[in-house]
């Protein structure tokens, strides 16, 4: 059972003492059932993880006849799915995380469209300054993707070349010449001119889905984008433009459509240097485009789009009325708007033309917990009512070219078994007044007065001590007591955790940093007057940098069981979670259990916190990410996690992915006698019981395609949890 904890318990440090908690082998899935309220309004999908730089396409992912919305956020190259529940004229979507597992790894940009004419949306995405494609497949139950072996090359003057695309650009894909296949528009890598690659699939009698690209025009539209003004130069023959031109192209996005219904393609252009959209009207025809008219405040007849740095427009039917609307969002990863950053324009035209009517600037994002750029969540009972509240630090809100870091406070207004969270303030403690960015909070009693103080990490690497001056029975209130606390600074992006590491009943300090390592500082003072003394700048040899990367941005979380077992989780810049087992004496190299704990990945700059927020004996994971939101995960075990020792034996699954029969093999003479199979939504698909064995085969031919969790039990109830993909 749980320890009885006082109102000043160490629960606020985002660690809990659990009896016999399994850590290795646990599998966590997205939790949809925790209500959040902001300004009196319940959020539809609060823990979807936030949006910073979303790109939009459509796909009928569940094959119900409705086009769902695919969002690809450049903050961590994260795919997201909104299921369409709307009728004609309705904007009604729900977030469904389970479908994200079907998508391959994508980079920089992603466009979904049906280019092989089978009725399914395929993937076109960036890859190493080029393009990679994936074909959608449907097995009667689920969609899955396979890499297309056809390369996105092009021919020119009888030679074949690699089609290069700048990592900042979002290229355009459309039937430019109205011949029935998909052509490509990209900005030239050397400057502000547009290359046109004509797909000759139809002309050459090739099957649908073929890429037979000819580079037929190096100055499509006869215009030049200077990058210095919000307009383009028309009637430009593009001669003499070189890579040494001072107005070299930086990055652009296309929305390609026949806006005026005259059977040639017009474009709406977004640029890295602009805060506006520029509509370019094609006064030529579908074989030779000539831009003759521009609107630099598009749509000038309504509310023009205006947001700092690099707008990207997308044409999709948002409200199910059969007409394509326009969504606009910033496309720059780090230096653009991160709130009020999804502008929705409804298409109100009565004919085949397009007339966009501004609706709102926070579509979808207004239904999520989102705090601009970055989210670093911790639990803290700020009012001492025995319920865990949530404090979220952020990198900052982008405002007038700068970031403004804050702490947000969500109060648990529910119960101990049914938590509900209500936004109290986006600037808890008035932290914004100090002009800190990339805020990482941790709480603990640093002055021995019985309440919990705030220790705040930030971008420049220093720690700042905020004393709790609130009343003994809450709510907490903080005042800056000591900036640059004890002179502790081991590198940028400091992420502290206060916790008793060495079991001496004194709070110690673990400190993550930009370089990806951990610093361990032991408290050599007292509870009332801590002295944090550095023990190691490379604690446990922890290094969460991805291969060939300079930085790792470690975010530590040490978890301790009642038995004293320690599990060290570390978020990182790459977005996954590392898990280590510390050595008994806390020195030397720790055991690296995994670099991708439970497959959790919500985008770059990950952090996590763990607590049983609903008092069901199951530990809940809460993660933060660069997109500015948080995500809740629950344990998938069907029985409580108490008194179930961790089995260290390894279990192998083969083949994985699987199409029919899955072989399960145990190593090290371990025997098992029961297997359960769950889908990500928690549905039990199979239970198999049998005599003790070290090898067993289960038939999955009737199982729909998707991502599954298999738990293997021995006679004593010990288990191993593995995942597999069913094709």
Task: Tell me the three-class secondary structure of 399-457, residue by residue.
Answer: ECCEEECCEEEEEECCCCCCCCEEEEECCHHHHHHHCCCCCEEEEECCCCCCCCEEEEE
Phi, psi of 487 (to 5 degrees): 65, 20
Cβ–Cβ contacts within 10 Å for residue 689, how many?
A: 9
At residue 635, the pLDDT reads 67
Q: What is the pLDDT of residue 574?
A: 92
**Residue 134 near residue 145, CB atoms below 8 Å:** yes
Q: Can you give the pLDDT at residue 239?
A: 59
Taking Cα atoms as reference points, which of 419, 411, 376 lies closest to residue 390? 411
CB 138 within 8 A of CB 178: no
CA–CA distance, 723 with 630 (Å, rounded to integer): 24
Q: What share of the chain is helix, strand, coil (3-state, %, to 5)?
A: 5, 40, 55
Exposed, middle or buried by CB within 10 Å (0-12, 13-18, 19+), for 565? middle
Total residue length of the chain: 727
Global confidence as pTM: 0.83
Give me the pLDDT at residue 72, please. Answer: 96
Residues 6+ apart with CB under 8 A from 468: 449, 451, 452, 453, 454, 476, 477, 478
Residue 636 has a pLDDT of 58
Position 645 scores a pLDDT of 35
Ranges of the chain whose pLDDT falls below 50: 1-25, 240-246, 638-648
Using the 8-state DSSP alphabet, how is residue 220 labeled? Answer: T
- Tens digit of pLDDT for each residue in 693-713? 989 999 998 888 777 888 888
Q: What pLDDT is stored for residue 446 in this prediction?
A: 97
Cβ contacts of 479 within 8 Å, gap of 6 or more: 466, 467, 469
Phi, psi values for residue 430, rounded to 5°: 60, 30
What is the Cα–Cα distance from 276 to 298, expressed in whole angstroms?
7
Is 602:628 a contact under the CB 8 Å cutoff? no
Q: Could you identify the residue written with the tokens 């947000």?
A: 408
Question: 133 near 123, Cβ under 8 Å?
Answer: yes
Beta-sheet strands, E only, within 438-531: 440-444, 453-457, 463-468, 478-482, 495-499, 508-512, 518-523
Integer angstrom CA distances of residue 470 from 406, 452, 467: 20, 10, 9
Query: What would the two tokens of residue 231 be?
Result: 């307009």
**Number of helices (H), then strands (E), in the chain:** 0, 55
Contact status, residue 706 vs residue 689, Cβ threshold 8 Å: no
């Amino acid at each position: 059972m749980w320890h009885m904890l006082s109102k000043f318990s160490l629960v606020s440090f985002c660690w809990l003492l659990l009896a016999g908690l399994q850590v290795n082998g646990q599998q966590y899935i997205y939790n949809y059932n925790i209500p959040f309220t902001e300004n009196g309004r319940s959020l539809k999908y609060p823990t979807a993880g936030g949006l910073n730089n979303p790109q939009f396409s459509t796909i009928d992912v569940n094959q119900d006849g409705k086009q769902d919305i695919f969002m690809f956020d450049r903050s961590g190259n994260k795919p997201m799915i909104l299921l369409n529940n709307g009728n004609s004229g309705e904007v009604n979507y729900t977030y469904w995380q389970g479908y994200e597992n079907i998508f391959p790894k994508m980079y920089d940009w992603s466009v979904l469209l049906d280019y092989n004419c089978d009725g399914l949306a395929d993937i076109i995405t960036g890859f190493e300054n080029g393009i990679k494609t994936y074909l959608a497949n449907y097995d009667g139950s689920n969609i899955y993707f396979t890499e297309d072996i056809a390369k996105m090359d092009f021919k020119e003057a009888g030679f074949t070349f690699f089609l290069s695309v700048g990592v900042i650009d979002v290229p355009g894909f459309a039937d430019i010449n109205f011949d029935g296949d998909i052509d490509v528009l990209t900005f030239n890598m050397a400057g502000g001119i547009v290359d046109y690659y004509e797909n000759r699939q139809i002309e050459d009698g090739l099957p649908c889905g073929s890429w037979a690209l000819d580079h037929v025009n190096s100055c499509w539209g006869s215009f030049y984008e200077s990058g210095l003004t919000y307009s383009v130069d028309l009637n430009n023959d593009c001669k003499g433009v070189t890579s040494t031109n001072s107005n070299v192209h930086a990055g652009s996005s296309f929305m390609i459509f026949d806006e005026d219904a005259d059977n040639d393609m017009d474009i709406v252009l977004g640029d890295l240097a602009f805060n506006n959209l520029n509509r370019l009207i094609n006064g030529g025809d579908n074989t030779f485009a000539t831009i003759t008219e521009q609107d630099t405040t598009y749509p000038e007849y309504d509310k023009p789009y205006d947001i700092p740095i690099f707008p990207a427009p997308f044409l999709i039917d948002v409200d199910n009325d059969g007409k394509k609307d326009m969504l606009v969002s910033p496309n720059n990863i780090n230096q653009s708007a991160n709130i009020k950053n999804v502008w929705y324009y409804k298409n109100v035209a009565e004919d085949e033309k397009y007339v966009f009517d501004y609706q709102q600037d926070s579509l979808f994002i207004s239904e999520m917990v989102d705090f601009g750029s970055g989210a670093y969540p911790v639990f803290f009972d700020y009012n001492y009512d025995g319920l865990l509240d949530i404090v979220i630090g952020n990198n900052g809100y982008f405002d007038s070219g700068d970031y403004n870091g804050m702490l947000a406070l969500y109060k648990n207004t529910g119960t101990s078994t049914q938590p509900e969270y209500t936004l109290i303030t986006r600037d808890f403690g008035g932290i914004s007044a100090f002009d800190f960015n990339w805020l990482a909070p941790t709480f603990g009693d640093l002055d021995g007065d019985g309440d919990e103080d705030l220790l705040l990490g930030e971008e420049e690497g220093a720690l700042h001590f905020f004393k709790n001056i609130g009343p003994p029975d809450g709510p907490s209130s903080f005042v800056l007591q000591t900036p640059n606390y004890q002179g502790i600074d081991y590198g940028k992006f400091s992420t502290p955790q206060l916790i008793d590491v060495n079991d001496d009943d004194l709070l110690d300090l673990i400190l993550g940093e930009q370089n990806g390592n951990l610093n361990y500082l032991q408290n050599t003072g007292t509870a009332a007057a801590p002295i944090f003394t550095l023990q190691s700048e490379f604690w446990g040899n922890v290094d969460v940098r991805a291969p060939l990367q300079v930085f790792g941005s470690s975010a530590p979380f040490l978890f301790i069981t009642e038995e004293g077992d320690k599990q060290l989780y570390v978020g990182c810049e790459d977005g996954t979670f590392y898990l280590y087992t510390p050595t008994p004496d806390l020195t030397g190299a720790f055991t690296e259990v995994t670099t991708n704990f439970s497959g959790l990945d919500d985008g770059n700059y990950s952090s996590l916190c763990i607590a049983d927020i609903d008092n069901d004996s199951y530990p809940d994971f809460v993660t933060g990410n660069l997109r500015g939101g948080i995500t809740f995960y629950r344990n998938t075990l069907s029985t409580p996690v108490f008194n179930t020792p961790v089995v260290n034996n390894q279990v192998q699954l083969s083949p994985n992915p699987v199409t029919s029969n899955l072989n399960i093999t145990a190593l090290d003479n371990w025997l098992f006698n029961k297997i359960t199979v769950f889908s990500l939504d928690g549905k039990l698909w199979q239970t198999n019981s049998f005599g003790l064995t070290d090898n067993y085969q289960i038939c999955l031919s009737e199982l729909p395609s998707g991502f599954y969790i298999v738990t293997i039990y021995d006679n004593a109830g010990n288990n191993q949890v593995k995942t597999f993909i069913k094709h």
